[in-house]
Chains A and B, each alone.
Chain A
Amino acid sequence: MGITFRKETFRDDFTFKNSPEHIRRFPFPFNEDAYMYAVNIEPHVVGPKGSVLENLIDVDEHYVAEMQDRALVLAEDPLRCQSLPHMTLAGWDLLELLMEQQALGYPEHFTLERNGDRWRWINRPLGIDDTFTFGDTSTLPYGPMEYITRQSQGDFCILDQRDGNLWMDAGMVTTQADWSLDFDIGMNFFEWHAPVPLAHEKGIFTRALKFLTNIQQGKPARRLNWTMTINPRLDTSPENYHKWGPDRATVTPENVGDKVHLRVELQSFWRLPRSNGIVFPIRCYLIKMDELVTQPKWARRLHRVIRDLPEELATYKGLTRYRPTLVDWLSKLDDGSPTSPGFGPD
């Protein structure tokens, strides 16, 4: 039994939707009625069947449409995918990781055959069947990182580790929440986190860096992050701010349920074996308010989280403009009863 891939768009007519099963598997990021930063990192191990953690690299019903959207972004702006010269080996590491994980999790859709350095990769949803020589860039139509990340959901930052720090020296970033690879490339961990409020004072980044530089091969880790996006737009980049920024002024009490989307990033962290780099896949999940509130627990809890969010965080996440409208709309779905512990729906 394979996945039924949806035909949908993340721009123009915005036909993106989650099926009922996908609503229930949505990685809701709040396990209590309030939110504050924490180094919420845990081992990235396989989770329950039917959840987004059923496989370590998740492929879902939006796969084909997301890959088509990525191709459109890259056609307009090739700088969304960059790799500094010393990162090619890490790109091969990532190609191996993603091919292995996708073939392992979804054998009906992906097949990897290895014969020494001669590898054959079959991607049925995208109609790809390529044979290439592992390690020889001339045998692929793109560099190894670009080749495989044009076929994998989520953004990918590849970090070089040196001098006790991590450096963003390669990446494929087309589904980001208002940051830019072209701006951050070559920066270290502290440099690219500089704009985040409150967390520096709490020493979070120093501890997080120490944790990340000690990530070991065979022991990936993960965390959830979240923000909100108006309309189901995957590409909310600074480069395209003029396209999505004004959307924030279009939220009305009538269209909140359809326009406002919770955007959750499942970030995982993996040590790459040949290059000793770290790859940081950022998988984006979108859900519109109308879909989210089909789970009453989530509706109640999201109301309380958004209502009580510290001002600095609301500003950083770009919620200020439509927060009152959203809180008002959500408040009608909050009867004040307690929410059960944990992330999942009741």
Chain B
Amino acid sequence: MSTGTTKLDVVVSDVVPVNDLVTRFHFRRRDGELLPTFSGGAHVVVEMRDGDRTRLNPYSLMGSPLDTREYTISIRRDDVGRGGSLFMHRSVKPGLEMVISYPVNLFSLDLRAKKHLMLAGGIGITPFMAQTAQLAGGGGNFELHYTCRTASLGTYADVLRERYGNRVRLYHDDREERIDLDRLLSSQPLGTHLYVCGPAGMINWVRDRAASLGWPPETVHFEHFAAPQPGAPFDVELAVSGKTIRVGEQQSLLEAIEAAGVDPPYLCRGGVCGQCETNVISSDGKFIHNDHWLSEEDHRSGCKIMPCVSRFEGKLLVLER
């Protein structure tokens, strides 16, 4: 099978500033047809042609799965990141033709749940936009708790309150409002599933508390796409393809492998799906594992790496690619 997913040729139909940090992008199919149906929690990988660089970043679909005339994503500007969000904010205008992937869902609703309890932090609200729309359309039972820094950075908080009223609770950091998590988790009916999307610290906090309070792991769902982190450049030998490559400061290992003309599989590019898992043939140095896929044992073994988000510091790294 070829790598990644089937591609869609789209045109940017609208670009809408949402607040000081977040911009929404609308895509339609270039041929005017409907886009593929998707399920709440799905993401697409957006291909960005930035000069001679190609960036591939995943973003959650936030529109209603019941309406596929267009796809919408929301992107928070990251001024110190590797430049993907800045490219989207600065260079992507209505009318631009782009390529995106078919939707992939790694944060699916568990449709057995009697109730869906959702916890969002910051831009982590986007998958819940689609999931709440899907559940509301089918009469599903959900409750959304959403923390943001200030009211003005509460992306879509007003939209959600208007759509769903008291099913949405807001918490603002600047007013020192915090989720009373233990109380919230302890008061849920049997059969509730918990979903959390937001900063790593929030995800860890929620997962820890849920585990301490006896929530079965199968009922706790989380999505955290680790963005690849910049770091010192390093050299890699690709044993199968017989190439030596340099991974730049702002480049991920996966991107460097792709730039060398090798086509490894991927789905999420965020360290969670497992598709790009690569065997290490030999190494002399330190791995910087940033993924959520490999076990701690795998990390310690030095035998595997997830090139989408992880890096290396040292003299020698040979990969089976």
Main SS at interface, chain A: mixed
| Chain B interface category by residue count | 20 to 34
B76-84, B104-112, B173-181: which one contacts chain A? B104-112
Binary interface encoding of chain A residues 271-284 relative to chain B, with 1 for a CB under 8 A from any of its CBs, else 0: 00111100000000
Nearest CB in chain B to that of A219: its residue:
B6
Q: Does A78 contact B (CB under 8 A)?
A: no
Q: Are B5 and A218 in contact (CB under 8 A)?
A: yes
Q: A162-B218, A273-B36, A276-B108 are in contact. Are A218 and B102 (CB under 8 A)?
A: yes
| Chain A interface category by residue count | 20 to 34
Q: Are A89 and B138 in contact (CB under 8 A)?
A: yes
Chosen A-B contacts, 30 in total, with CB atoms closer than 8 Å, are: A84-B112, A86-B110, A87-B111, A162-B108, A162-B110, A162-B218, A163-B218, A210-B274, A214-B275, A216-B5, A216-B6, A216-B102, A217-B36, A217-B38, A217-B102, A217-B103, A218-B36, A218-B102, A219-B1, A273-B37, A273-B38, A273-B103, A274-B37, A274-B38, A274-B39, A275-B39, A275-B111, A276-B39, A276-B41, A276-B109
Residues of chain B with a CB closer than 8 A to A96's CB = 37
A84 CA / B112 CA spacing, docked (Å): 9
Interface residues of B (CB under 8 A from A): 1, 5-6, 36-39, 41-42, 65, 102-105, 108-112, 134, 138, 218, 267, 273-275
Interface residues of A (CB under 8 A from B): 43, 84-87, 89, 96, 135, 160-163, 210, 214, 216-219, 221, 273-276
Instruction: Find the residue from B36, B39, B42, B104 having the highest chain A CB count within 10 A.
Output: B39
A-B pairs with lowest CB-CB distance, top 5? A273-B37, A86-B111, A218-B6, A276-B108, A86-B112
Nearest CB in chain B to that of A272: its residue:
B39
Residues of chain A with a CB closer than 8 A to B267's CB = 214, 216
Q: Are A214 and B111 in contact (CB under 8 A)?
A: no
Residues of chain B with a CB closer than 8 A to A219's CB = 1, 5-6, 102
A276 CA / B107 CA spacing, docked (Å): 10
A325 CA / B273 CA spacing, docked (Å): 51
Q: Nearest Cβ distance between residue A220 and chain B, in whole angstroms?
A: 11
Q: Nearest Cβ distance between residue B306 and chain A, in whole angstroms?
A: 15
A119 CA / B103 CA spacing, docked (Å): 25
Residues of chain A with a CB closer than 8 A to B109's CB = 276
Nearest CB in chain B to that of A43: its residue:
B1
Q: Are B5 and A276 in contact (CB under 8 A)?
A: no
A163 CA / B41 CA spacing, docked (Å): 15
Q: Nearest Cβ distance between residue A192 and chain B, in whole angstroms?
A: 18
Q: Are A221 and B1 in contact (CB under 8 A)?
A: yes
Q: Are A217 and B5 in contact (CB under 8 A)?
A: yes
Nearest CB in chain A to that of B65: its residue:
A274
A44 CA / B25 CA spacing, docked (Å): 33
Residues of chain A with a CB closer than 8 A to B36's CB = 217-218, 273
Q: Are B111 and A89 in contact (CB under 8 A)?
A: yes
Instruction: Find the residue from A161, A221, A276 having the highest chain B CB count within 10 A.
Output: A276
Q: Are B218 and A214 in contact (CB under 8 A)?
A: no
Residues of chain B with a CB closer than 8 A to A218's CB = 5-6, 36, 102
Q: Are A216 and B39 in contact (CB under 8 A)?
A: no
A227 CA / B267 CA spacing, docked (Å): 36
Nearest CB in chain B to that of A162: its residue:
B110
Residues of chain B with a CB closer than 8 A to A87's CB = 111
A85 CA / B110 CA spacing, docked (Å): 12
Residues of chain A with a CB closer than 8 A to B65's CB = 274
A217 CA / B37 CA spacing, docked (Å): 9
Residues of chain B with a CB closer than 8 A to A214's CB = 267, 273, 275
